Amino acid sequence: MNSTEIRNRTVEFGKYKNHAENFLSAPQNPTRSSLKGCGAVNLSFRERKAGGEKFAMLTAYDYPMARLLDESGVDLVLVGDSLGMVVLGYPDTTSVTMEHMVHHCHAVVRGVKSAFVVADLPIGSVDTPELAVQNALRLHEAGAHGVKLEGGVSRCREIAAIVEAGIPVMGHIGMLPQRVRVEGGYKIKGKTPTEAEQLYADAVVVEKAGAFAVVMELVRHEVARKITATMTIPTIGIGSGPDCDGQVLVIHDLAGLFPWFTPKFATPRAQVAGSIREAVQTFVQDTKAAGEPYSTKSHDQSVTLEKPTLPGRASLERKNNQSLHCGNLNSVQGQIEPEASGC
């Protein structure tokens, strides 16, 4: 879709076309078209959308969850700043820092082999194009394949700058969690013609700035459907209806892993929190009843080994406690599992 077609699309959405027009008519740096990495990603996602593919995207914040998602076939893994709530215990995402994001990004990418990893740029990290590029590079160096930032028309310069630096960008419009304190809550967007016009202008500018996809959060369903039908890049919905090109959820909401709050639009497909509670309660009961959570037989085998079966370990008595805790007795006739990492 060329610039003329994009401009024409904004007309039907009224006065907000001017915001898009201003950006679309501004001189664009031709070097962006030669950025093979970004160009290949952008083209790939456009072609997949054109072919009717739907995109499944879930959040992950650590190695084991990232690996599970990747092995289960998700298309995109998001290292979301939602970690502020479901991992760090903050009331919203506004306390998340770049240090948090870099730390968790490193963990996630270690568990992913196939999925496309996107990392959120947290609040305050994209206040200028220069700062946006600097922080996007940090996440890219941590292993993220692309970054996501909130905002449409208001962030077109930052999106374009990051793309120009060679890093794929996913946009995020609609309800913006980083503005939750400003707006006084999580509110559905697109309820009025004016809001719909703004959302459309945001989507057009995000696409034109070079983003390969855009998340639409809590957008009224008919508005999300109309935007999806007119964009050449995929739309990834969250609480925005079934007609987007894909869906994203916080893994804790999908798996029932955060029982203290579940968004209305999320349908848990499991109740992991209940399983964890049951396992822990059983462990506690067994421990208190028997005084030792492990079987007597297994325990006796571990502590009654005689020194002759441990050649070269004259200091067994001195190291006994460490060995039992770390599973470090892998040389003892194969009775203990291989050495645990970090011991």
Catalytic residues: 217
Q: At what angle do helices 193-208 and 17-24 cross, to 10 degrees?
A: 10
Angstrom distance (rounded) from CA 300 to CA 294: 10
